[in-house]
Amino acid sequence: MTRKHPDKKTPGKTPGGKTPGKKTPAFGRKDVPPPPADEKDLPPAPADEKDLPPAAADEKDLPPAARGGQKNARPRRTDDPTENFPAAPDAGPGEPESPGSRGSRGDQGERGDRKRPGGLPPGLYVLPSPLGNLSDISPRFREVLSGAGLVAAEDTRRTVKILNHLGLKKTLLSYREENHRSAWPRLQKVLSEGAAIALLSDAGSPGVCDPGAALVREARGAGFAVWPVAGPSAVTAALSVCGFEASSFTFLGFLPPGPKARRERIKAAGASGEILVLFVPPHKQTRYLADLADILGPRPAFLAREMTKLHEEHLALPLPELRDELLSRPRKGEMTLVVGPAKKLGQRGRPLPEDGGGGDGPAPPDEAAVREAMDASSSTNEAARKLSQTGGVSKKDAYAMVLRLGAKLGRPAPDDDAEDDRRLEEEDGRLEEDDGRLEEDDD
């Protein structure tokens, strides 16, 4: 059957194909007449071959989804990386991998094995907050915070700023060590329902001089999984720029508030000779530095203030000079102090020289300091002890300096008791042997 030309007249139709008494539908262009009424009865006209879509020459040219009966087909490479890496059978699109799924879960218990559809595995997630720069937020931090059903925060005002920065809206619960007993029942109920809880502190990691340790104990004791999330830390940030080789260090946190307890804590920690790291409250900075300089002497120190923030400041000075600097101009903001190692313990973690040379620590006391110690003492032992305390050197080295200067000046040693000198050298030798054994045990 051939198509009827639209200009041909059809019985019962007016010219142009219009039916009398019926409204002509609008086709958008007035100069294009509508198709004849019996167009639907006509078979479609054959199209030109060039208008037809090209047929697949071979099954191998078809996309993977259209291949029939072809097993283990390699996916077609596309610009979308998600098409080349399909989701695992037990994980939906965009669903994060369960922490610990690559290995044994240890003592996490059965509750840590359940996976909430479309969200995080249930449990308590310990998130370290940025120290001051929101750009330090990691993709892992964002993923966990967005998937948490409840956020327990030390300071909800600071946490709201983080949520606004990420464009998230979450239910917040104020959590501190003081309200742990009242907050735990609600947190336990949320965990029992199979949800994830994110725990955040003001800055840094919860549980490190911040609330969180009690909640971790309660959650793990009740059989819930507890997941750590790596992130910012004031301790490691300060150690990374202090210039001391920190193969080992002692973290003191905040010192005791009372003067007596504070001084005893400094003496006990300083006796180890290792690097000391502590947090300095702004309102106690002068008292902290006065006690540290008085007990530890001129050990090198590094003070990092307002790290990652706009007014960040670093001060690298011996403890007495740092004390005087803070006395003359007290600082504001969060401060982390790193006290360098004592030289007398074999320089485990010795400070790097500022000139980049091969020195192994601060310069030894000069001749004037040795002479001053000799003039103020009545014996060689007393002069060596004073020089060791003020010069930051071991007692054995100080004793040798006193003897060398005495011989150079032609002055007899302040103490002519040879037996006493011999016993002192033997004692120093035993101390050196003990130090060597301790280092071997550490290795």
> Which residue type does 345 have?
L
Which has more confidence, 35 or 400?
A: 400
Asked if the structure places residue 39 within a domain, the reply is no
312 and 255 part of one domain: yes
Q: What is the pLDDT of residues 138-157, one digit of tens each?
A: 999 999 999 999 999 999 99
Domain span at 275: 235-345
Instruction: Decide if 61 is inside a domain.
Output: no
Instruction: Identify whether 393 is part of a domain.
Output: yes
Task: Output the average pLDDT for the chain.
Answer: 74
- Report pTM: 0.54
133 and 166 in one domain? yes
Highest mean pLDDT among 23-37, 171-185, 375-389, 406-420: 171-185
Residue 341 lies in a domain: yes
Q: Give the H or E element holding residue 404.
A: helix 395-409
| 74-97 residues labelled b (16+ CB within 10 A) or e (exposed) | eeeeeeeeeeeeeeeeeeeeebee
User: Is residue 208 located within the same domain as residue 250?
Assistant: no
Share of the chain above pLDDT 90, in %: 42
- Same-domain check for residues 285 and 320: yes
214-224 pLDDT, tens per residue?
A: 999 999 999 99
Least confident segment among 50-64, 122-136, 137-151? 50-64
How many domains does the structure of the chain reveal?
A: 3
- The Cα angle at residue 226 between residues 222 and 227, in degrees rounded to 5: 170
Judge if 144 and 193 occupy the same domain: yes
Contact 253, 260 (CB under 8 A): no
Residue 271: inside a domain, yes or no? yes
Asked if 377 and 307 sit in the same domain, the reply is no
- In a shared domain, residues 324 and 395: no
Q: Within this chain, do residues 253 and 222 fall inside the same structural domain, yes or no?
A: no
Residue 33: inside a domain, yes or no?
no
Same domain, 245 and 221: no
Per-residue pLDDT, averaged over 422-431, amounts to 61
> Which residue has better confidence, 67 or 288?
288
pLDDT for 261-273, tens place per residue? 999 999 999 988 8
Domain CATH number, residue 172: 3.40.1010.10
Residue at which a domain ends, from 310, 345, 380: 345
Q: What is the DSSP string of 355-382?
A: T-SS--SSPPP-HHHHHHHHHT-SSHHH
Q: Which of 180, 199, 228 is the last residue of a domain?
A: 228
The residue out of 228, 254, 277 marking a domain boundary is: 228
Q: Given CA atoms 378, 381, 383, 385 in this order, what sign does their dihedral have?
A: negative
Residue 243 and residue 160 share a domain: no
Q: Which residues of 383-401 are buried (b: 16+ CB within 10 A; e: fewer)?
A: bbbbbbebbbbbbbbbbeb
Cβ pair 299, 267 in contact under 8 A:
no
The C-alpha atoms of residue 421 and residue 433 are separated, in whole angstroms, by 19
Degrees to nearest 5, angle at CA 266 with 386 and 433: 60
Parallel, antiparallel, or unpaired for β 123-127 and 196-200? parallel
Q: Give whole-number Cα distances, 87 to 35, 84, 148, 230, 419, in Å.
A: 51, 10, 22, 25, 81
CB contact set of 386 (below 8 Å; sequence gap of 6+): 373, 376, 377
Mean pLDDT (whole number) for 13-23:
50
For residue 361, pLDDT over 90 is answered with: no
| CATH code assigned at 339 | 3.30.950.10
pLDDT of residue 76: 40
Higher pLDDT, 57 or 147: 147
User: How many Å is the Cα radius of gyration of the chain?
Assistant: 39
Q: For residue 345, what pLDDT is reported?
A: 41
Which 8-state DSSP code applies to residue 204?
Answer: B
Amino acid, res. 51: D
Please indicate, yes or no, whether residues 325 and 247 belong to a single structural domain of this protein: yes
Kindly state the helix (H) or strand (E) to which residue 424 belongs, with its residue range.
helix 418-442
